[in-house]
């Protein structure tokens, strides 16, 4: 294989990460990577279990002299977020990811890299393969569909795991150890509309918002990033009032847990107002670009001529939709009073899609306070109720309550200090980790979450910092060496 990682250490971790990149693994379509993992377990003579949900558990006995240590489960998810640049041709169901090295980073060509959480999976496989790494009894749990519903963690049975300690390998900032996370819920909105004919004297146009960074709707929600849906809606809302703009299609964002990077609308304006509208968009672009000059230097807003659409959205629904999208909250709603610089509650206007006679809007809410999670979700419902839309909530998932007296936290902290001569930061994360659901099934499980540095997760800008992946590996081995006897 023409791996770009040849020569990088540890060899086994990078080898397995490259192999994983060759296997398509979209959320809810993990059959190929699951088959690969089952075959791996059989080839290495390890006990391998596939549960009813599709999660895979591989057990490995302790190395000589470590048999009496407490058993540890290492956990990651096998699916990945599938996002690509609009000019990239890639079939996530069939095509391999194309990783490459750019200085200190591993990146992918035009797509998400899948280091979230492929590097965790690769670390587990390298550990399971090893003959010379010291550890007590270990279990490696590979969960499915983490990115679009935490399905694997939801379906985990409370009698599958035998371990009392869990290492979650799905965090994205090296030097930080997480002991708590936010709970989350999705709020899904649908609004019906009628198709009406295009009037005489109208010109077709397309307005596009591109070049935004996107990012994780939990981890990156406090970074001042632009939301393409909100930016596009500002233009459409004002354009309706000043230029008789009529809307045919609104398409923005894709994934519930990603901040919308791109959005476009197919519209009409009267021919006599086209030049004025184009000038308005150019002026608006300059003002919005100034607002985001620090956080979104790549922002671009374009308006071009487009063929006339076959139909328009009825004017009453257009007004309701644009008003509701303008009023819909997005971003940080509250900061924690207990943990410095920690987002407590947020909401994400993830996607807006015009389907046949219906607009579908996806939002997601997060909070480390359960009552606040439902409060902000209900706020979103209230906004769209005023527009006559129907709303429903997903089942949601619980948060993970921090335990500052955790034994495995102290082991991890000591291991990090020994290896790198500096204290790690101990934090909670404003994102959904499977630890919350696993802790609900295994209330006595002692857990920490950590990982290498991954930037731009859930976007084609995703990149993995090479030296932090090595530190991640070294830390995992040091933790395992220091697990106490049962």
Place of tokens 């830390």: 475
Of how many residues is the chain composed? 486
- Strand pairing partners for 312? 196
- The first and second tokens of residue 112, run together, are 């998400």
Q: What's the half-sphere exposure (Cβ side, CA atoms, 13 Å) at 106?
A: 29
Residues with active-site annotation: 79, 146
103: left (phi over 0), alpha (psi -120 to 50) or beta: left
Sequence-ordered alpha helix ranges (H) in 214-291? 228-243, 274-291
Transcribe 246-280 into DSSP letters. EEEEEEE---TTB----EEEEEEEEGGGHHHHHHH
Pairing of strands 331-335, 300-305: unpaired
d(CA 442, CA 439): 5
- The first and second tokens of residue 342, run together, are 């920690």
Pairing of strands 390-393, 446-449: unpaired
Q: What's the half-sphere exposure (Cβ side, CA atoms, 13 Å) at 111?
A: 21
Cβ atoms of 16 and 125 within 8 Å: the answer is yes
d(CA 22, CA 1): 10
Pairing of strands 138-143, 72-77: parallel
Residues with Cβ within 8 Å of 450's Cβ and at least 6 positions away in sequence, in order, are 167, 168, 169, 171, 174, 176, 177, 178, 412, 424, 472, 475
């Amino acid at each position: 294989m023409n791996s770009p990682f040849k020569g990088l250490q540890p060899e086994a971790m990078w080898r397995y990460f490259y192999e994983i990149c060759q296997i398509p693994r979209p959320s809810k379509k993990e059959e190929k990577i699951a088959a690969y993992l089952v075959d791996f377990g059989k080839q290495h003579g390890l006990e391998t279990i596939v549960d009813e949900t599709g999660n895979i558990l591989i057990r490995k006995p302790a190395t000589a002299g470590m048999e009496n240590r407490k058993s540890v489960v290492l956990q990651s998810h096998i699916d990945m977020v599938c996002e690509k640049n609009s000019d990239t041709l890639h079939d996530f169901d069939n095509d391999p990811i194309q990783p490459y090295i750019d200085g200190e980073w591993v990146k992918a060509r035009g797509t998400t890299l899948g280091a979230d959480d492929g590097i965790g999976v690769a670390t587990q496989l390298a550990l399971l393969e090893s003959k010379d790494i010291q550890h007590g009894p270990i279990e490696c749990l590979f969960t499915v569909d983490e990115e679009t519903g935490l399905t694997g963690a939801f379906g985990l049975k409370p009698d599958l795991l035998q371990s009392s300690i869990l290492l979650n390998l799905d965090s994205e900032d090296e030097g930080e150890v997480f002991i708590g996370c936010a709970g989350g819920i999705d709020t899904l909105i649908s609004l019906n509309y009628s198709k009406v004919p295009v009037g005489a004297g109208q010109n077709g146009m397309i307005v596009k918002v591109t070049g935004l960074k996107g990012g994780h709707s939990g981890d990156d929600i406090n970074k001042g990033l632009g939301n393409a849906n909100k930016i596009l809606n500002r233009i459409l809302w004002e354009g309706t009032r000043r230029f008789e703009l009529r809307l045919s299609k609104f398409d923005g964002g894709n994934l519930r847990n990603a901040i919308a990077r791109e959005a476009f609308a197919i519209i009409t304006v009267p021919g006599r107002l086209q030049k004025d509208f184009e000038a308005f968009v150019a002026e608006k672009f300059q003002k919005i670009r100034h607002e985001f000059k620090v956080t979104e230097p790549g922002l671009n807003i374009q308006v071009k001529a487009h063929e006339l659409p076959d139909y328009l959205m009825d004017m009453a629904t257009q007004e309701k939709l644009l008003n509701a999208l303008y009023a819909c909250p997005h971003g940080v709603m509250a900061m924690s009073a207990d943990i410095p610089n920690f987002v407590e509650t947020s909401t994400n206007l993830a996607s807006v899609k015009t389907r046949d006679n219906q607009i579908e809007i996806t939002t997601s809410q997060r909070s480390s306070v359960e009552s606040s999670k439902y409060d902000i979700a209900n706020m979103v419902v209230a906004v769209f109720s005023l527009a006559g839309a129907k709303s429903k909530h997903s089942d949601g998932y619980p948060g993970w309550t921090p335990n500052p007296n955790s034994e495995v936290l102290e082991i991890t902290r000591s291991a990090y200090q020994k290896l790198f001569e500096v204290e790690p930061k101990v934090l909670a994360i404003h994102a959904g980790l499977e630890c919350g659901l696993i802790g609900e099934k295994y209330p006595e499980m002692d857990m920490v979450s950590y990982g290498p540095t991954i930037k731009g997760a859930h976007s084609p800008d995703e990149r993995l910092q090479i030296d932090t992946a090595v530190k991640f590996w070294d830390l995992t081995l040091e933790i395992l060496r220091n697990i106490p006897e049962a």
